[in-house]
A and B are shown apart, each in its own frame.
Chain A
Amino acid sequence: MLFLAISLQGMAQKHTISGYVMDAQSKETLIGATIFDTQSNKGCATNSYGFYTLTLPDETVNLQVAFVGYEPQNHTFILKSDTTLSFLLQTNNELEEVVIEATRTTVNAQNPQMGIVELPIKQIKTIPSLFGETDVLKAIQLLPGVQNGTEGSAGMYVRGGGPDENLILLDGVPVYNANHALGFFSVFNADAIKNVTLYKGSFPAHFGGRLSSVLDIRMKEGNMQAYHGNASIGLISSKVNVEGPIVKDKLSFNFSARRTYGDLLIKPVLWIINNEDPYSKVNLGYNFYDVNAKLNWKISDRDRLYLSYYNGDDKLFFGSTTQRDDQGMSLKDETRLSWKWGNQVAALRWNHVLSKKTFMDATLHYTQYRHTLGVNMFEQFDDASGSSIQQSNDVRFKSGIHDLTAKIDFDFTPNPNHEIRFGGNYTYHIFRPDVQVLLYEGSGQNLDTVLGSPDVFAHETALYVEDNMTLGDLFRVNLGAHYSTFTVQGKTYHSVQPRVSASLMLASNFSIKAGYAYMSQYVHLLSNSSLSLPTDLWVPVTANIEPMKAHQWSIGGFYELPELFDISLEGYYKTMDNLIEYRDGASFLGSQDNWESKVCMGRGWAYGVELLLQRSFGKTTGWIGYTWSHSNRLFDRPGQEINEGKVFPAKYDRRHDISLTVQHKLNKYFDFSATWVFSSGNWGSLGTQEYPSLDHPLFFIDAVERNNYQMPNYHRLDLSMNYYQYYDQGQTGCLNISVYNAYNRKNPFLIMTDSEWDGNSERKRLVQVTLFPLIPSISYSYQF
């Protein structure tokens, strides 16, 4: 009888609860919402599509469902069969007294994966920003372990890695150049975004292709219940967002658009300039726009179809025309410059619930980055007899990349102790590293030629499997492997990338974690400067340029102070190999040289400690982040030396990095936020001694080492205030006043030498250029 009892105990019936967690008003699915059974102490989180599955014993279950910014729910019932149960959570914004989240979930402490940060989009929108433009990437740069490039740059440098080592996904589709305005703004319109998750280490096996981080950005799906929207106007840009049902509870849409108007604001100035000179006219301007659109079709309880689209462009243009007429002769001179770059992303996704325990996601997506720099010069001379001579020069520099991908992913949860994910994908790449098109017409001679590197075609595949395992009450492990191949120029590279991470619960709110990940990357970004310039080239590995590789070990702890803070402390050590950098003196210009001949291959290593104190609930939210880190490079392969084969610091080897961001909701009318950042100075190459050369004494050499000089430290305070107005029909207006760099710190953008006349002689000096002084901004948004 005892054995029977034991066997019956072990064979206790279990059933699965599955469904979606959604916003009660909009029916927008919530990513990462937690569902926790207090009876069995088992729980899970919703996946990227808001779906969850939880297998529990047949007994009374008490489910607590929670998500940041929403009022938690409790559901108690007796589980007798497989159950579909979806939850609609109410936001807690409307409450006069903000409810402190009662269910401080232990899922974060239990999650074996490290280096993961989720930033609620509502929190991102309250962070003060440049020209009042909410920027997802700028917010991410405030996290420990993530650094920006230079002042205003949207480039990300995560744990010592370069800006190309970050996989930036928009609804699962890679975005290659996530910057507008040369990096001062990102391409992501916060009004179109639902969720932002950053992985800095312990990468799950379903991610691959980059060494340093994965930034997973999910777009809103659109309100299934009612039409809503938001329009805002600011100093340099305006934007609009509209969402709503096409068929209620079945088909919804979300549409956002944004445009700057720098080109319009400068027109009065140009009018004045052009009116003063009758012989020449000048036209100059810059603008960017982006459009996000998404359709969400709930075909049935088991099937959903999504169509996402993004298109954005930047354009900088310049034109001048000079015309002089004299004694019947005429000379006309025109110059046109057009510099355009942009992304286009499209994804068609099908979610299908195969069974209570199995969720499938199949996607077909396309991403494109394009860049064109064009210069046209035209001259025409008409003599008095009426004959005309014309000459035209047209040069266009083009680069870009196209990807077409098919992928399929499965989430299989056989029991609460195993969450298994597996899947695969195939990508067809077309790289256009650099092409120059030269057209010349005139004087009876014509030239029409194309120079530069030819298009490169590549095939990339990946397979993965991972299991998130619960081993007893205290120990969880995520174990997985990612296998990828890359075929280009007749050569195929393979990579098996193990991923493992584990957590050990020392208390219900305290865990220690450790992880290891091996990553491979088959694309490189060639960049000449600290700015994220559109001329930065995406190039593939080739028969000569091998894939980049990285090993990352991390260890740390996660502690939840109940109703106060989450604290995480992580240490990491990362090695990187087959990194590429431009040789000394090389740049993207000069397409007669194949790009492969302009680069060197080397390695790097980085290590550091990151501390994060985060509070994401209550009236006062925010975080304090501190990073202590080192990042070095070594390029010593024969014939590919940089810095004569000696170790040098990475450009962004900043020893200390501090970020403090606080948001406080005073009442329903006012909220305030402040951000203070500090980082050690960037490194640059400065020749401090000069001497005559062997060739000729007049030709001087600068004795310079790579990244031998550290610029002054950087720190800045931003402040922001929102004032809310509530209208009778439920609309809300919000006036935002913000100040960027509130104490007008002169932060270095670059340093250089120059000289000034002191009355007697030219005095040489070292100067720094500061880009952004104190910048106030004001914007108004209207939400309906």
Chain B
Amino acid sequence: MKHAPYLILLTALAMVACTKEIVFSGEEAETKTVINCMATVGQPLSATVSKSNFFLTQEEDIDISAPDSVVVTLYVNGLPMGEMLHSKDSLVSRDNYPPLLVQYYTSDYRPAVGDVIRVEATAPGFDKAVGTTAPLPGPVSVTVKGITLNSHQEYSLENVSWQGYYDIWFKSYATLTLEITDPNPGQTDFFMLYGGFDFPMEQVNVAAADPRMRIHTNDPAFGNQTSDITNSILVFRPYREYLFRDQLFDGSTYQMQIPIDFIIGLYDMADTALLQPTKVSLPLQHLSDELNQYLYTMTWVEPGAQFLTEPTQIHNNIQDGYGIVGGRHIDTLSLTLPLPDFSIINDTLI
């Protein structure tokens, strides 16, 4: 409803305004090769290659197969590592947009810390597109100092099961303390907390499936942005609230206080003693500069909020092309979420 006045304004303007088609008078940017590659330290390298489309190209004029005969070459620290293997193709279709061919390339090479990864894509009829990372970042000294359960807890009684027992959902509040040390004093490092939670599934005997956790990024290290990271997002999209840098603790060790809340549920209150604390794997990504810029600019693109805002310019480090070739290092944090205090609902148990 907050957009309502603008909708009314648009409606009023539409009643008096008229539209007419105009000829695009600008310089038509040529179609270019698109390279997207995320180089993760210790993981096999992969990249996708496709092409851009001029925004007014009609569907029947699109050459879906292009770019054809693409050769993708990998360089590490300036040394050629050979061609990347073309593993598969994917035809991406969207409503009201022409389809696009995305070609996948892989390599057995596993980047190491400090590697400078360069990916080149050549294809007939296209300029050679080149994307280069900064030296890949290294591991970060980060430890989980603890998860302190707050006294406040909540629960709710959900559906009555066919056996006449209740499903009970517990919501607990806690503070996660992470201790992180600046890996490169005097230099700005970029990080992202999150990249998908991982809940082991072996606890389904008494616990509900689909446990949920939210991370509230309101520690000062995240800047003035505060938001909630939740694993209920179906399609991962980066948000700027996940990104932080070490300007607050340059050259030193810093303790981040991160409020979290998490939900676990019980099918039948058979025996809470069997319940195991929920384990969570939380990735902390140490980002290269260009990847950080890409993710940061991507976070400004919020569907539905683009009305009356300037279009967002997404960072692009491909020479004579589009896309991003960036690097990262992932440290996986293991969290063990404490069990809730079940005594709060004893009176309601059947």
Binding site for B on A (CB under 8 A): 182, 284, 286, 316, 318, 335, 337, 339, 373, 375, 377, 395, 397, 528-529, 533, 581-587, 589-590, 592-594, 596-597, 642-644, 685-706, 708-710, 712, 746, 748-749, 751, 753-755, 761-773
Decide yes or no whether B145 CB sits under 8 A from chain A.
Answer: no
- Chain A residues with Cβ below 8 Å from B302 are 585
Give the residues from 15 to 42 in chain B that come closer than 8 angstroms, CB to CB, to chain A: 16-26, 28-29, 31-32, 34, 36-38
* Contact flag A753-B55 (CB < 8 Å), given A691-B322, A700-B94: yes
A-B complex: 8 closest residue pairs judged by Cβ atoms:
A585-B300, A691-B52, A584-B312, A689-B52, A694-B36, A585-B312, A597-B224, A691-B34
Q: Decide: A703 and B29 in contact? CB cutoff 8 A.
A: yes
Among candidates A318, A587, A702, residue contacting B55 with C-beta atoms closer than 8 Å: A702
Q: Decide: B315 and A644 in contact? CB cutoff 8 A.
A: yes
Decide yes or no whether B123 CB sits under 8 A from chain A.
Answer: no
How long is the Cα–Cα vector from A339 to B58 in the complex, in angstroms? 41
* Contact flag A585-B305 (CB < 8 Å), given A689-B322, A712-B25: yes
- Chain A residues with Cβ below 8 Å from B92 are 692, 697-698
Among candidates B29, B297, B324, residue contacting A584 with C-beta atoms closer than 8 Å: B297
- Chain A residues with Cβ below 8 Å from B26 are 686, 688, 708-710
* Contact flag A703-B316 (CB < 8 Å), given A587-B305, A697-B100: yes
Closest to A581 in B: B310
Decide yes or no whether B106 CB sits under 8 A from chain A.
Answer: no
Closest to A592 in B: B226
Closest to B235 in A: A696
Closest to A771 in B: B17
Q: Decide: B100 and A529 in contact? CB cutoff 8 A.
A: no
> What 0/1 readout, one digit per residue, does chain B (297-324) give for beta carbons within 8 Å of chain A?
1101110011111111111100000111
Among candidates A395, A685, A686, A693, residue contacting B36 with C-beta atoms closer than 8 Å: A693
Decide yes or no whether B1 CB sits under 8 A from chain A.
Answer: yes
Closest to B326 in A: A694
Q: Among B22, B32, B96, which residue has the most Cβ atoms of chain A within 10 A?
A: B22
Among candidates A316, A529, A696, A748, residue contacting B5 with C-beta atoms closer than 8 Å: A316
- Chain B residues with Cβ below 8 Å from A373 are 5
How long is the Cα–Cα vector from A384 to B141 in the complex, in angstroms? 65
Q: Decide: B297 and A771 in contact? CB cutoff 8 A.
A: no
Q: Closest approach, in angstroms, between the C-beta of A200 and any C-beta of chain B?
A: 28
How long is the Cα–Cα vector from A712 to B38 in the complex, in angstroms? 41
* Contact flag A587-B308 (CB < 8 Å), given A695-B298, A703-B316, A761-B59: yes
Decide yes or no whether B90 CB sits under 8 A from chain A.
Answer: yes
Q: Decide: A644 and B313 in contact? CB cutoff 8 A.
A: yes
* Contact flag A689-B31 (CB < 8 Å), given A586-B300, A597-B225: yes
How long is the Cα–Cα vector from A710 to B26 in the complex, in angstroms? 7
* Contact flag A688-B94 (CB < 8 Å), given A584-B297, A585-B300, A773-B18: no
Among candidates B38, B57, B225, residue contacting A593 with C-beta atoms closer than 8 Å: B225
Decide yes or no whether B88 CB sits under 8 A from chain A.
Answer: no
Q: Decide: A768 and B305 in contact? CB cutoff 8 A.
A: no
* Contact flag A694-B54 (CB < 8 Å), given A375-B1, A377-B1, A644-B313: no
- Chain A residues with Cβ below 8 Å from B59 are 761-762
How long is the Cα–Cα vector from A583 to B204 in the complex, in angstroms? 46
- Chain A residues with Cβ below 8 Å from B29 are 688-689, 703
| 19 residue pairs bridging A and B, Cβ less than 8 Å apart | A182-B9, A284-B8, A582-B309, A585-B300, A586-B300, A593-B225, A597-B223, A685-B310, A689-B55, A690-B55, A691-B322, A691-B323, A692-B102, A696-B235, A703-B52, A705-B313, A767-B19, A768-B20, A771-B13
* Contact flag A697-B102 (CB < 8 Å), given A685-B310, A702-B55, A768-B20: yes
Give the residues from 224 to 260 in chain B that come closer than 8 angstroms, CB to CB, to chain A: 224-226, 235-238
Closest to A393 in B: B1
Q: Decide: B53 and A763 in contact? CB cutoff 8 A.
A: no
Q: Decide: A770 and B19 in contact? CB cutoff 8 A.
A: yes
* Contact flag A337-B5 (CB < 8 Å), given A585-B302, A697-B48, A698-B92: yes
- Chain A residues with Cβ below 8 Å from B308 are 528-529, 533, 587
> What 0/1 readout, one digit per residue, does chain B (328-348) give for beta carbons within 8 Å of chain A?
000000000000000000000
Q: Closest approach, in angstroms, between the C-beta of A489 and any C-beta of chain B?
A: 15
Among candidates B9, B55, B100, B294, residue contacting A688 with C-beta atoms closer than 8 Å: B55
Q: Decide: A690 and B52 in contact? CB cutoff 8 A.
A: yes
Q: Closest approach, in angstroms, between the C-beta of A540 and any C-beta of chain B?
A: 18
- Chain B residues with Cβ below 8 Å from A583 are 300, 310
Q: Decide: B305 and A694 in contact? CB cutoff 8 A.
A: no
How long is the Cα–Cα vector from A754 to B322 in the complex, in angstroms? 24
Give the residues from 79 to 102 in chain B that come closer than 8 angstroms, CB to CB, to chain A: 90, 92, 94, 96-97, 100, 102
Decide yes or no whether B60 CB sits under 8 A from chain A.
Answer: yes
- Chain B residues with Cβ below 8 Å from A687 are 55, 311
Decide yes or no whether B4 CB sits under 8 A from chain A.
Answer: yes
Decide yes or no whether B2 CB sits under 8 A from chain A.
Answer: yes
Among candidates B24, B58, B100, B324, residue contacting A694 with C-beta atoms closer than 8 Å: B324
How long is the Cα–Cα vector from A765 to B96 in the complex, in angstroms? 12
Closest to B8 in A: A318
- Chain B residues with Cβ below 8 Å from A710 are 25-26
Closest to B94 in A: A698
* Contact flag A692-B2 (CB < 8 Å), given A687-B311, A764-B58: no
- Chain B residues with Cβ below 8 Å from A709 are 26
Q: Among A397, A592, A764, A771, which residue has the most Cβ atoms of chain B within 10 A?
A: A764
* Contact flag A712-B17 (CB < 8 Å), given A395-B1, A586-B309: no
Known A-B contacts: A597-B224, A761-B58, A764-B57. Give 14 more (CB < 8 A): A585-B310, A590-B305, A592-B226, A686-B311, A689-B32, A692-B102, A703-B29, A703-B314, A749-B17, A751-B22, A754-B19, A763-B58, A770-B20, A773-B18
- Chain A residues with Cβ below 8 Å from B90 are 697
How long is the Cα–Cα vector from A291 to B227 in the complex, in angstroms? 46
- Chain B residues with Cβ below 8 Å from A529 are 308
How long is the Cα–Cα vector from A771 to B24 in the complex, in angstroms? 20
